[in-house]
Structure 1
């Protein structure tokens, strides 16, 4: 089984079992040990994966960390574990102390779902306060799986990881700063964009007005940018392809996505600009999650606009119901049972990002 398939399997395991995991020890057994095993290390070999590894802290002797992964008799990764429900933000102090007295170059703080990777980029032999990489089993991108693969026993190389850790660390911090400013713009951020278009003085009322405008402008830009990229990739023949598909193959039925043969007269199916715009938004949502976005296709019918994976009517991602005054998006659960959600605008499709991604990941 490929590494990314193993990670997907472990992700499914976490979602299925987590509510039954009541203790930290159960978290280790059900989630963390399988992850260590997935990374290629033998959890049953005490010379490779050492549980309760002793880290003497000055006069405090016998302090233990949950796991230490060894290579050539030396620790290379320290792992501190918490219960899956615990917030990791308040727990890096213990790993920080252990890292300081160990020869390991990497530390992992995890609750079995989120894995935070630390090293000593700022000051040698002193663990950084912030992780350079974070992997969330419930929400990850394909590119993050490739980064995680570097910690696999077969590929592990300290110099290789350190060479990219710095770039990852600062790229992620800058990205997080951008996200923070876009979601909750600071006064200086608002003024930076408002000054070229507003010559007046900024008071509290003006700042609040422009804060909302800046947020709206960034949301609109992000939406337009992704849609334009996807339109360019699809080409000008999208509607022609859609009609051919609708004529040749049957639609997905609701509430369960079963294969049913129906004839859809071509001249009765009209694909609207709004339906295509909704299709582009769904593609934009899935773009970071899928290697080949062209696998996500659209198929229009008289009753709804279907969006499928691999042009397979047994793999529905969602449906758009835009043929009445009220517009709905229909999402599917693990049993392919559909649920309709009212849309006030096309941008509301982004509210159902998690449901759309979950549907894709089912297949």
Structure 2
């Protein structure tokens, strides 16, 4: 199961349970510990992840940082946790600042279980910066964010590699924020800069400034719109969640969607089940070949987004009774009960056999 799949499963679980997570301790248990575990660190081994690390700081005695990730007995990353949804500003990182100064750790993470802010000492050695160089939002992340997060995983952690790119990440983020401001309200200096070649010898009068401020803002909007349209043109891929005709059988083509079917939404449990199935069969096929189509009575998991190659059906519409549809070589469906979504793993061998049968049929 890839890192991004683990993160998506955790995000689904957190979304479901978020209303019940009201304290800092609950946030640590339900959100932060699973996040650290996903990065490959054993949260149950105090030699690898030490909770409530104590290090006296000057006259302050017995203060504790919530988690310290250790490598060869030395801390490499510190976690300071706040309750789910709490504000994360630099004023909430006091203990993190102090521990960063007295330990060998080069990275400090301030989190509320949903957003993770990564700090280092890029400005002054051994003094944690006021601004993070990287932020990861569990409920709103992109693939490039996951690629950056991978650098902190146990299997890939390399101090020099992260520090070499941390400055670039920090300044890239700052420039993105500045550009976002300019898109909505271009500053006079920026408008003057982009209009200089166009104006020639004309003076930059208040009237010209107002005119080119409007033009600059419109140009930004059109540029972004064109880029979005380009991405949308290529968005139809096996990763895309689409809606299938619930009346179609594995050997029948998908029919036109009705208005009722167009209103179908894929539940978090169905998405979690899809990621579990995809992780099971990834040793046979690339994950991008495994697609999901939702329908009224079930959610189909397909090979190559082909309705004639069903891997299984997630029959989760009745949340009190989860069921999984498995297929024989003759494409006959057998529905089996599931206690939880994770119990799909108990049928891993059969899911693999189904995928293998499709691969053998296409092998020359």
Unaligned runs of 5+ in 1: 235-247, 260-290, 297-309, 314-333, 336-363
TM score, norm. by length of structure 1: 0.63
Aligned equivalent of 2:229: 227
Aligned equivalent of 2:142: 141
For residues 226 and 258 of structure 1, do their structure 2 counterparts lie closer, same or farther at Cα, with a shift above 3 Å needed? closer
The answer on whether the counterparts of 1:39 and 1:151 sit within 8 Å (CA) in structure 2 is yes
CA shift for structure 1 position 117: 0.8
Aligned equivalent of 1:32: 32
The answer on whether the counterparts of 2:40 and 2:153 sit within 8 Å (CA) in structure 1 is yes
For residues 48 and 122 of structure 1, do their structure 2 counterparts lie closer, same or farther at Cα, with a shift above 3 Å needed? same
The answer on whether the counterparts of 2:192 and 2:204 sit within 8 Å (CA) in structure 1 is no
Aligned equivalent of 1:42: 42
Aligned equivalent of 2:20: 20
For residues 201 and 155 of structure 1, do their structure 2 counterparts lie closer, same or farther at Cα, with a shift above 3 Å needed? closer
User: For 1:30-109, what aligned pairs fall within 5 Å after superposition?
Assistant: 30-89=30-89, 90-109=91-110
TM score, norm. by length of structure 2: 0.63
Cα distance in 2 for residues equivalent to 1:207 and 1:21: 51
For residues 192 and 91 of structure 1, do their structure 2 counterparts lie closer, same or farther at Cα, with a shift above 3 Å needed? same
Matched, 1:250 2:250: no
Cα distance in 2 for residues equivalent to 1:96 and 1:153: 23
Cα distance in 2 for residues equivalent to 1:47 and 1:36: 14
CA shift for structure 1 position 226: 4.4
CA shift for structure 1 position 208: 4.4
Cα distance in 2 for residues equivalent to 1:54 and 1:40: 23
The answer on whether the counterparts of 1:67 and 1:80 sit within 8 Å (CA) in structure 2 is yes
The answer on whether the counterparts of 1:252 and 1:258 sit within 8 Å (CA) in structure 2 is no
Offset from partner CA, 1:182-207 (integer Å, 9 cap, x none)? 1221121122233444534433x654
Aligned equivalent of 2:6: 6
The answer on whether the counterparts of 2:41 and 2:49 sit within 8 Å (CA) in structure 1 is yes
Offset from partner CA, 1:296-316 (integer Å, 9 cap, x none)? 9xxxxxxxxxxxxx7679xxx
Cα distance in 2 for residues equivalent to 1:77 and 1:38: 15
- Aligned residues between the structures: 259
